[in-house]
Amino acid sequence: MEMELRAQYYRITRRYLPWLSNNGYTSCQIVAKTSYKGSVWPYRWIRAKRSGACYVIFEKNDVERRRKRLCPLAELKAVLHKVPAASKIVEIIPFKPKVLVALEEASGFMNLWEIERSCELPSRSELESALIQLLESLEAINWVHGDIRPWNIFFDPKGRIFIFIDWWESKTKNPENAEKDRQDVRNILSLFDGNATLEDLWGHPYFTMTWSPNWVRRGRVPKGILRFNPAFNL
């Protein structure tokens, strides 16, 4: 892991940043941190601006995606523009064998997992409604997100709007993954209700999470009765 992070840092500083600076991106900075609070897995990405808009830029590997039977990034870019609440890919920049993927930054939004003040949290009904709308928009195009977790949901407390990120594992729906998103939605609502823990729901071992917000129940607890909107069959 350390060697790969060193190699990635070299690619970013020697190849990516000069290219971005010469092609309209400004205020480029390397972000080196875990992707969400409490995670133990380090990650690096680039934050930049262009024409006044803010972007986050990730390094990806299309060859590896094909090996995992994931769609090409160009196809993913087209799909995300059909999902209203998805973070959008705005540009794919080839750097063989890697590629850079620039996405809209969720400026003004807060990571649901990192919100602790009750005045900034969405209500249970707001969260459920946003999740159901996401499922419906995905089903309309026969697609699955594949990794709907609380840290992949961003919320704007002022506009009461949600954005869903981390679409790297998404793919066309098939019999093997048809229920994956529905189960993730059940899990998120159960976690939000305090009916279960991360370990109960997704099998996260304790050593992979060093922090959790105050609305998440800690430790193993009996699973309670889940409350769902009867209007949508989760």
Interval 107-134 mean pLDDT: 96
Quick one: pLDDT at residue 220? 47
Give the range among 45-49, 65-69, 177-181, 213-217 with minimum mean pLDDT.
65-69
Band of residue 107 on the pLDDT scale cut at 50, 70, 90: confident
Interval 74-78 mean pLDDT: 94
To the question of pTM greater than 0.85 for the whole model, the response is: yes
Give the range among 1-15, 19-33, 189-203, 216-230 with minimum mean pLDDT.
216-230
Between the ranges 11-15, 69-73, 76-80, where is the mean pLDDT highest? Answer: 76-80
Q: What is the mean pLDDT of the chain?
A: 88
Quick one: pLDDT at residue 59? 94
Domains in the chain, CATH or no CATH each: 2-104 (3.30.200), 110-208 (1.10.510.10)
Do the Cβ atoms of 145 and 170 come closer than 8 Å? yes
Query: Which of these, 7, 105, 96, lies nearest to 48 by C-alpha position?
Result: 105
Beta strands, E only, 81-200 = 89-95, 98-104, 110-111, 143-144, 153-156, 161-164, 171-172
Band of residue 219 on the pLDDT scale cut at 50, 70, 90: low
Interval 72-101 mean pLDDT: 93
Band of residue 231 on the pLDDT scale cut at 50, 70, 90: very low
Interval 90-118 mean pLDDT: 93
Do the Cβ atoms of 148 and 164 come closer than 8 Å? yes
pLDDT over threshold 90, residue 233: no
Quick one: pLDDT at residue 43? 84
pLDDT in tens, 46-63: 999 999 999 999 999 888
Half-sphere exposure of 24 (CA within 13 A, CB side): 8
Do the Cβ atoms of 19 and 102 come closer than 8 Å? no
Quick one: pLDDT at residue 1? 62
Calculate what percentage of the chain has a pLDDT beyond 70.
Answer: 91
Quick one: pLDDT at residue 224? 40
| Kind plus residue range of the DSSP H or E element containing 135 | helix 124-140
Beta strands, E only, 72-220 = 89-95, 98-104, 110-111, 143-144, 153-156, 161-164, 171-172
Query: CA-to-CA distance for 1 and 42, rounded, in angstroms?
Result: 9
Q: Which comes out higher in pLDDT, residue 146 or 223?
A: 146
